[in-house]
Amino acid sequence: LALMVLGALALRRRADWLMLAWFTSMWLPLTLVSGLIDPGFIRINASLMRYWVPVLPAMCLGATAAVAGALSVVRRHALAARPGVATALTATLAALGLLGWCVPMLDDIADNPRDRAWSAMRSALADNDAPIDTLITDDRDALVLGIYSREPVGGDLVVHARVQRTGHALPRPPRSDGDPGTWLIWTSGLSRRTPKPGQGWELVLRERGLRLYAPRALAAG
């Protein structure tokens, strides 16, 4: 953000001002409805990153344009007589910028509990693909399931069951109807309470914030 603003003010190029205007047109409405200015007017949860995704392209492109513009000015004036040094400086700064962007994300990429949990869910569902014909889950987790129904490499479909969507934030999970082909994927997004044996479910897989249940009679058998 700072690079984008400084680039627009210092370089005074139309492209930099365009990036800043693009960012402001997305950021200002989100700020107004998030309660950051008026705590009494809240329409979105500003702590959730997904609401701020629309501002990221403008911010990234604006910062990149500012750095590229600054390097162009340096090459034209300070290093005009030494093109080799200018090229090396440009490449070095680009590499440092890429490292500065990538390195903070390495821990999240290497250790992502949510991805690990859903990968285990994919394996469990693939192992039981034949007996499962219907998977019950809430409308939000159904979207995630659509991604993890396929292999991470190659994209082959490994989960063929039909998805039966419920609402989210239910007071309790749906009961099993006893059908041996109908299984349940539970997260806290589906219901505040976890499924119980009295509702006809038996736990098959338990991961962090994610569980797979089979009909109790089938699991017991």
- Band (90; pLDDT cuts 50, 70, 90): low
User: Using one digit for the tens of pLDDT, what is the confidence trace for 135-177?
Assistant: 999 999 999 999 999 998 889 999 999 999 999 999 999 999 9
**How far is it, in rounded angstroms, from Cα 202 to Cα 189?**
19
More confident residue, 54 or 83: 54
Provide the 8-state DSSP code for 195: P
Going by C-beta distance under 8 Å and a sequence separation of 6 or more, which residues neighbour residue 132? 125, 161, 181, 182, 183
Give the pair of three-digit tokens for residue 126. Answer: 């693939």
The CA–CA distances, whole Å, from 122 to 46, 181, 185, 215 equal 31, 17, 11, 18
Same domain, 127 and 66: no
**How far is it, in rounded angstroms, from Cα 189 to Cα 48?**
15
**How far is it, in rounded angstroms, from Cα 97 to Cα 95?**
5
Task: Please give the backbone phi and psi of residue 35, each rounded to the nearest 5 degrees, phi first.
Answer: 85, 5
Q: Identify the domain boundary among 60, 78, 96.
A: 78
Tell me if 46 is assigned to some domain: yes
pLDDT of residue 133: 96
Give the pair of three-digit tokens for residue 139. Answer: 């409308």
User: Using one digit for the tens of pLDDT, what is the confidence trace for 18-57?
Assistant: 888 888 888 888 888 887 777 777 777 777 777 788 888 8
Same domain, 25 and 119: no
Compute how many other C-beta atoms are within 10 angstroms of the C-beta atom of residue 204: 17
pLDDT of residue 220: 47
Same domain, 66 and 143: no
Same domain, 146 and 210: yes
Same domain, 74 and 119: no
User: Using one digit for the tens of pLDDT, what is the confidence trace for 110-132?
Assistant: 677 888 999 999 999 999 999 99
More confident residue, 16 or 191: 191
Give the range among 17-26, 54-63, 96-105, 176-185 with minimum mean pLDDT: 96-105
Tell me if 84 is assigned to some domain: no
Same domain, 74 and 125: no
pTM, rounded to two decimals:
0.59
Mean local confidence (pLDDT), 184-198: 94
Q: Which helix (H) or strand (E) holds 104?
A: none
Same domain, 70 and 25: yes
Tell me if 63 is assigned to some domain: yes
pLDDT of residue 37: 75
Tell me if 212 is assigned to some domain: yes
pLDDT of residue 32: 85
Tell me if 121 is assigned to some domain: yes
Expressed as residue numbers, the domain containing 142 is: 113-220
Tell me if 27 is assigned to some domain: yes
Compute how many other C-beta atoms are within 10 angstroms of the C-beta atom of residue 220: 9
Quote the crossing angle between the two packed helices 14-33 and 56-77, to the nearest 10°: 150
Same domain, 69 and 118: no
Same domain, 125 and 188: yes
Task: Kindly give the pairing relationship between strand 210-215 and strand 182-186.
Answer: antiparallel
**Mean of the per-residue pLDDT values for the chain?**
83
Tell me if 126 is assigned to some domain: yes
Q: Identify the domain boundary among 78, 104, 124.
A: 78
pLDDT of residue 57: 84
Same domain, 190 and 117: yes
Number of domains composing the chain: 2
Q: Identify the domain boundary among 34, 57, 78.
A: 78
Same domain, 49 and 140: no
Q: Which helix (H) or strand (E) holds 44?
A: none
Give the pair of three-digit tokens for residue 5. Answer: 């603003």
Closest CA to 131 of 179, 174, 163, 173: 179
Tell me if 96 is assigned to some domain: no
Same domain, 119 and 208: yes
